[in-house]
Amino acid sequence: MRLSRFFLPTLKEAPSDAQIVSHQLMLRAGMIKQEAAGIYAWLPLGLKVLRKIEQIVREEQMRAGAVELLMPTLQLADLWRESGRYDAYGPEMLRITDRHERELLYGPTNEEMITDIFRAYVKSYKSLPLNLFHIQWKFRDERRPRFGVMRGREFLMKDAYSFDVDEAAARVAYNRMFVAYLNTFARMGLKAVPMRADTGPIGGDLSHEFIVLAETGESEVFCDRKLVEMPAPGDDFSPEAVQAVFDERTALYAATEEMHDPAQFEAKTAEGDRLSARGIEVGHIFYFGTKYSAPMKAKVAGPDGQDAEVHMGSYGVGVSRLLGAIIEASHDAGGIIWPDAVAPFDVVVINLRANDEAVSAACEDAVAQLEKLGKDVLYDDTDERPGGKFATADLIGVPWQLTIGPKGLADGVVELKRRATGEKVSVPLAEAIERLTA
């Protein structure tokens, strides 16, 4: 993609009302534009990252056995009345009446709708276990939307829902999602720590938040340092394997500020392993038994022929929120530092003299070779000054910068820079391409 043809409206300064780093950098990098309080248009650069994150989430859900569908953004109020949540949910729910005076709502979550879908088609325990997920836009009318995509009113969310014949099977489903979340965030270059959490309006008696550590995090968290150092658990989703992962992680202390117990922290954690940091919630999982299946009569015929209410869990990932979380965890004074897996482009090729035919030909050759090898390339062919080109490349955070100019070309070398470390090397183009595709 030629930068001269791409839509990248960067800003030298962030608007004064952007309070946190991720909001400032997303605006400056031309990733989003605010259309209303807590509501954003996703511009091309931001959308590319959003789709990368969405695909990783999708792949890990499917790897764990979940099946994708897509539910609408608008839901019938009557479904929520069945569960008893319509009046209880509060002003965060956007309530709508259509031209036929039917009461609707813009879905903040989907427990009721998925339960309605399940009860319409699934009648026997032989169809279980079942986990259904979708990635869809949600709306919650926050009183004070702020911090850009970190606390917006409209947001993209992955929500999954498990259905099982009894509590024991439901807890296996919960553990599978627990493991899937650890794998998901690890693929994005994040260290996510599971922490026991309050169930809130979703309900139930078992819940974990997944917290990404970041200096600019929204709340203080306390945990055993060993949790941060543990690798992703991998793809063994047998009941025994997921239980072992769950037991290993939950045996160590981890708590958000509101659930922190200093005495327990000291008792359970060696002094050298006590970690106090800032954190950002990026995922939340719940087991809530028959909270929705009972009032909505979602039953299956059990092995004994008797109808039984299914046991359910729900599992959310803030897909759009993750962009902000990744930036908060990975940036420097120059701008964003994207992990390779979610970067909008793999490499930016910088032409230091766009009006020089030899330099432009070398850049075109580099771009063609990289694209042939499967790399997503942004080619800065603009007539901007070199300093401005370097500043833009750093700001948008592409993992590699390949710079070609007349002096280096005369010496038979190009400059290759790794954005994350700032390391630069001057090597022949063939060697640079080999490094980029290794």
Q: How far apart, in Å, do the first and last CA atoms of the chain sit?
A: 22
Q: What's residue 218's pLDDT?
A: 81
For residue 245, which phi and psi values (nearest 5 degrees)?
-65, -45
**Which among 196, 165, 183 has a CA at the least distance from the CA of 245?**
183
Strands 274-289 and 206-213: antiparallel
pLDDT digits (tens, 9 = 90+) for 106-130: 999 999 999 999 999 999 999 999 9
Sequence letter at residue 215: E
User: Residue 199's pLDDT band (boundaries 50, 70, 90)?
Assistant: low
pLDDT digits (tens, 9 = 90+) for 259-312: 899 999 999 999 999 999 999 999 999 999 999 999 999 999 999 999 999 999
What the block records as the tokens of 436 is: 């980029």
Sequence letter at residue 206: L
Q: What's residue 201's pLDDT?
A: 57
The rounded mean pLDDT for the chain is 95
pLDDT digits (tens, 9 = 90+) for 383-428: 999 999 999 999 999 999 999 999 999 999 999 999 999 999 999 9
Instruction: Report yes or no: 227 and 254 within 8 Å, Cβ to Cβ.
Output: yes
Q: What's residue 249's pLDDT?
A: 97
User: Residue 16's pLDDT band (boundaries 50, 70, 90)?
Assistant: confident
Is the model's pLDDT at 173 over the cut of 90?
A: yes
How big is the CA angle at 148 (ends 109 and 390), to the nearest 5 degrees? 135
Q: What's residue 96's pLDDT?
A: 96
For residue 423, which phi and psi values (nearest 5 degrees)?
-65, 135
pLDDT digits (tens, 9 = 90+) for 216-244: 788 899 999 999 999 999 999 999 999 99
Q: What's residue 203's pLDDT?
A: 54
Sequence letter at residue 320: S
Q: Please confirm whether the linkage preceding 201 is cis (ω < 30° from 0).
A: no
- Classify burial at 334, counting beta carbons within 10 Å of its beta carbon; exposed 0-12, middle 13-18, buried 19 or more: middle
The DSSP code for 231 is P
